[in-house]
Amino acid sequence: CSVPWQFIVIALGILISLRLVIIAVLVTNIFQYGHQKHELQEFLKHHNNCSIMQRDINLKDELLKNKSIECNLLETLNRDQDILRDKTKTVLDSLQHT
């Protein structure tokens, strides 16, 4: 009940070949995982940069809005001051002529 040595050699050759294919697939998957991990890290880095830039833009928009309100208030105060100055001048002029 002895198995010829050629069958044993063929069976071992097939097993070794399968093992090499499995190792090659595993190594390929490891490299793909590393590459995908790197791409994901780059994406997250860019996403974080975009989020920071968006917050910066929002803060600058808010600052611009506040400055615009401030400017409008100053213009109103200036206009009121001009009106008061004109009225005061008119009153003073009328007092001097009487």
Q: What's the structural domain count of the chain?
A: 2
Looking at the structure, tell me whether residues 25 and 55 fall in a common domain. no
For the cut 70, the answer to whether the pLDDT of residue 38 exceeds it is yes
Buried b / exposed e along 34-73 (16+ C-beta atoms within 10 A): eeeeeeeeeeeeeeeeeeeeeeeeeeeeeeeeeeeeeeee
Q: Which domain holds residue 71?
A: 44-98
Do 48 and 93 belong to one domain?
Answer: yes
Tokens of 93: 């002029």
pLDDT confidence band for 1 (50 / 70 / 90): low
User: Same domain, yes or no, for 30 and 53?
Assistant: no
Distance between CA atoms of 8 and 5, rounded to whole angstroms? 5
- Both 22 and 61 in a single domain? no
State the sign of the Cα–Cα–Cα–Cα dihedral 57, 60, 66, 70: negative
Residue 4 sits at φ, ψ, to 5 deg, of: -60, 145
Is the pLDDT confidence value at 95 over 90? no
Does 49 share its domain with 84? yes
Using the Cα atoms of residue 30, residue 32, residue 35 and residue 39 in order, give the sign of their dihedral: negative
pTM, rounded to two decimals: 0.55
**Which phi and psi angles does 69 have, rounded to 5°?**
-60, -45
